[in-house]
Structure 1
Amino acid sequence: MENTLFNQVFRDNEGRIVIAQFPNLPLTIGILASLFSLVFTTGKINLALEFLAFGALFTWAWEELFQGVNSFRRALGLVVLVGLMALKIMEVGY
């Protein structure tokens, strides 16, 4: 296999092109908690769901950043991690 930029970015160590994968547990929990927080918009349930969603998505992004199967997945983890931090900073109002 040729060592092109495309291959370095999008192929895993077995030579398969990997852009999307079946969601793992942290991503599934993060998506579900985010959706449920749109249903329960006030109170302690909303606060718990937002906390759970943030923690799960942060975990997913961290895992992708350091254990992603290719450079694209690691970059995706970094983008999501930076995005989560930016959203929290804007939420707090700094």
Structure 2
Amino acid sequence: MRRFFEWFFRSRETGAITIAQWPNLVLWIVIVAAVLLWFWPYAGKASIGLTIVVKAGLIIWGVDEILRGVNPWRRCLGAAVVLYVLITLMP
């Protein structure tokens, strides 16, 4: 179990255990848009625009994690976020 933990969570760049990181620019934009959407959920066109920014940003962030994540955990997290957003887009 320890070997799996080491393999799954160890950063391939630094060698440190990496579960979470500071948000990159795309994720900061998603966070700001989500907070604005939380305060003004029914703001008409602005609400639609913020929803698009949040969902598109999460997909972009998730794909970036899948492609460039520092360990398998980050790649799985990116895949889970993309899958979640795509499922919530379905009618």
Q: Measure the CA separation in 2 of the matches of 1:41 and 1:80.
A: 22
Instruction: Give TM-score, length-normalised by structure 2.
Output: 0.89
Unaligned runs of 5+ in 2: none
Q: Measure the CA separation in 1 of the matches of 2:34 and 2:86.
A: 16
The root-mean-square deviation of aligned C-alpha atoms, in Å, is 1.3
Unaligned runs of 5+ in 1: none
Are 2:13 and 1:25 equivalent residues in the alignment?
no
The runs of 4+ residues in structure 1 deviating greater than 2 Å are: none
Shift of 1:49: 0.6
Instruction: Give TM-score, length-normalised by structure 1.
Output: 0.87
- AA paired with 2:7? Q
Query: How many residues are matched?
Result: 88
Residue aligning to 1:51: 52
How many percent identity over aligned positions? 33
- AA paired with 1:9? F
- AA paired with 1:32? V
Shift of 1:85: 0.4
* 1:1-94 map, 5 Å: 4-13=3-12, 14-42=14-42, 43-89=44-90, 93=91
